[in-house]
Structures are given as C-alpha cells and as structure tokens.
C-alpha cells in the first residue's frame, strides 16, 4: 500500500470488493468529515480514555507483537522495466 496508492489496491481487488469500496468509500468519507472529525475537535472524554488504557486486550496485543517478524514485508514500486540480474 505504501508503494502504490489506495486506488491501485482497490482496482486490483475482486469485483465485489472493488464495487463495495467504490460505493461505500464516499459515504465513509462524508461520515468522517461531518461526524468524526468535528467530534475530535472537542475535549476528550476521560472515562473513555481510561477505559481504553485499562482494557485487558493490551497485554494480548503485546504478546502478539513479540511474534511479529523482524523484517517488514513490502511491495517495491514498479520501475517499468526488468530488474537487474533477471
């Protein structure tokens, strides 16, 4: 996803995923711009922050993070030609 944009990723998905992303993407963007972003401009709810910080999932995620490979897996950007040595 870093090597190419989201449109490239969507265009290379299955027909169902592509059509769903094209249909629902603008709706999610509108909801984000009209509801989520304005709500984030106000003061944070300290009860929600405390509930998040003390949630029991955090130790499980820390244990899962230890199993992550030491290297990142990524797709190289297309160069438009053959790679050297191939």
Mean pLDDT per 10-residue section of the chain, whose length is 86 residues: 72 86 89 90 93 95 90 72 52
Q: Say what the pLDDT of residue 82 is.
A: 54
Q: Indicate whether 28 belongs to any domain.
A: yes
Q: What total number of domains does the chain contain?
A: 1
Q: Say what the pLDDT of residue 30 is.
A: 93
C-alpha distances (whole Å) from 70 to each of 43, 75, 78 are 38, 17, 25
Q: Indicate whether 31 belongs to any domain.
A: yes
Measured torsion, CA atoms of residues 37, 51, 63, 67, in degrees rounded to the nearest 10? -10
Domain that holds residue 44: 6-65
Q: Indicate whether 38 belongs to any domain.
A: yes
Q: Indicate whether 40 belongs to any domain.
A: yes
Q: Indicate whether 83 belongs to any domain.
A: no
């Amino acid at each position: 996803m870093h090597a190419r944009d989201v449109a490239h990723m969507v265009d290379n998905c299955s027909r169902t995923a592509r059509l769903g992303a094209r249909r629902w993407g603008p709706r999610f963007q509108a909801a984000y711009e009209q509801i989520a972003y304005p709500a984030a401009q106000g003061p944070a709810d300290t009860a929600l922050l405390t509930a998040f910080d003390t949630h029991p999932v955090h130790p499980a995620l820390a244990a899962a993070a230890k199993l992550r490979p030491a290297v990142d897996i990524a797709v190289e950007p297309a160069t438009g030609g053959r790679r050297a040595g191939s």
